[in-house]
Amino acid sequence: MFTILFDHASELFSGLGYTLGASFIALIGSLVLGTLFALMEIGQHKWVRVIGRAYVEVVRNIPLLVITMGFYVIVPMFIVQVDGFTAGTIGLTIYTSAFIAETIRSGIQSVSSGQMEGARSVGLTYYQAMFHIIFPQAIKIVIPPLGNQFINLVKNSSILAFVAGFDLMYQGKIIANSTFNTFDTYLAVGLLYLIVTMPLSYLMRFLEKKWKTA
């Protein structure tokens, strides 16, 4: 395993770089999209709520692979060529945004409704109350599950291997094919994934416990 790890260090670490890059971009993108759809889901107009809900339910129930491949295969037919990395990252963003929307929605709803009523009754508008009163309280509740979503993102970014996205999994596949040493290669790839995901998952578990008692 270590010979593979050392001999192919440059490919593996560049793969890890792409994996982390895709995960970060997708995290930021899906945070924006997810917050938007979470706000829609608890919005004041019925149709806005319906659209938000529909988006989340539809995206959550379709495999990431179908979303990503759909993007990778269909978009070039009409609009513009997309490379694997872009298609993969966009697929990840869309998929994860539905889960993040759910996380944020339940975080916001777990802030007691008296907070909103109190804020509104001292004269804040709905949006002021949302941003100054509700969000800051919801963030603590939401951070551990968001961290877990990021871990999922790192794992799910292996989907890039399907669309030639140069990520860790893709590099692993190439190394395995050239050295025929599949066993050691995939062990090495697994080790690199774990180096990223394990500490994060322990950190999130720690935060969850710490903030629950606070």
Select the residue interacting with other proteins from 9, 28, 58, 203 (CB under 8 A): 58
Burial of residue 150, with CB atoms counted within 10 A of its CB: 0-12 exposed, 13-18 middle, 19 or more buried: buried
**Residue type at 155 in one-letter notation:** K
Q: Which span sits near other proteins by CB under 8 A: 85-93, 105-113, 126-134, 197-205?
A: 197-205
Report CA-CA distances (Å) from 25 to 102, 154, 191, 211: 19, 11, 23, 27
62 in Cβ contact with 104 (< 8 Å) = no
Please, which residues have CB within 8 angstroms of residue 13's CB and are 6 or more apart in sequence?
none
Residues 158-187 that bind other proteins (CB under 8 A): 158-159, 161-162, 169, 172-173, 176, 181-183, 185-187
Q: Where are the alpha helices (DSSP H) in the chain?
A: 2-7, 9-41, 46-60, 64-78, 84-110, 113-121, 126-128, 135-156, 168-179, 182-213
Under rule CB under 8 A, residue 29 binds other proteins:
no
Under rule CB under 8 A, residue 62 binds other proteins:
yes
Report CA-CA distances (Å) from 34 to 7, 12, 29, 50, 80: 41, 31, 8, 15, 26
56 in Cβ contact with 96 (< 8 Å) = no
Under rule CB under 8 A, residue 145 binds other proteins:
no
Residues 74-93 that bind other proteins (CB under 8 A): 74, 77
Q: Which span sits near other proteins by CB under 8 A: 4-12, 29-37, 103-111, 148-156?
A: 148-156
Q: Which span sits near other proteins by CB under 8 A: 45-53, 69-77, 116-124, 127-135?
A: 69-77
Nearest distance in Å: CB 120, other proteins:
31
Q: How many residues bind other proteins (CB under 8 A)?
A: 40
Under rule CB under 8 A, residue 70 binds other proteins:
yes
Residues forming the site for other proteins (CB under 8 A)? 57-58, 60-66, 69-70, 73-74, 77, 151, 155-159, 161-162, 169, 172-173, 176, 181-183, 185-187, 189-190, 193-194, 197-198, 201-202
